[in-house]
Amino acid sequence: MKTNAVLTAVSLLSIVLMTLHLTDDVVRGFSTPGLDNLIGVAILVVWLYGTLMLRDRVSGYVIMFLGSLFSAAMPIIHMRGASFGETVRSSGGFFFYWTVFTLGVTGFFGLILSVSALWRLRRRVDLHND
C-alpha cells in the first residue's frame, strides 16, 4: 500500500478518535460545553481539509504532521493529570483510556509517516533542481 494512502487513513482515523475524545472530555467535565468548542471544530476542519484536499502537497503533510503531533500528545497530557487514574476507573473509563491510548498510537505513527512523506518530497525536489 502506498505511504500516502496509509497516512491519509491514519490521519482520518485520528480525526475520528479526536472527535470522540473531545466529546468525552466535555461529558466528563474536563472541558466546558459552549462556543469555545468551535475552536476545536475549526482545527479539525483544517486537519480534515489538509488530509483530504492537500494530501500530496507540503501544506497537507505539514497539517497532517501537526494533527499527528496533537494526537501523540494526548496520552502525555492526560496521563500527567492528577485525576487520570480515577477517571480510568470510573464509569466509561475503558472508552476514555482506549481513545487516549489509540490517539497516541495513531499520532506517533502519523508523525513517522508525515515526516517520511516530507522527506521523500524534499528529495524529489532536490533531484529536479540538480
pLDDT for 30 equals 83
Handedness of CA 52, 55, 58, 62 (dihedral sign): positive
Residue 129, pLDDT > 80, answer: no
State the residue range of the domain holding 14: 3-129
Q: Which residue has the cell 528529495?
A: 123
Highest mean pLDDT among 14-23, 27-36, 76-85: 14-23
Q: Name the pTM for this structure.
A: 0.89
Q: With contact defined as beta carbons under 8 Å apart, do 75 and 103 qualify?
A: yes
Please state the domain count of the chain.
Answer: 1
Q: What is the pLDDT of residues 23-77, one digit of tens each?
A: 998 988 888 888 888 999 999 999 999 999 999 899 999 999 999 999 999 999 8
Count Cα atoms within 13 angstroms, Cβ side, for 124. Answer: 9
- 34 vs 126, residue with greater confidence: 34
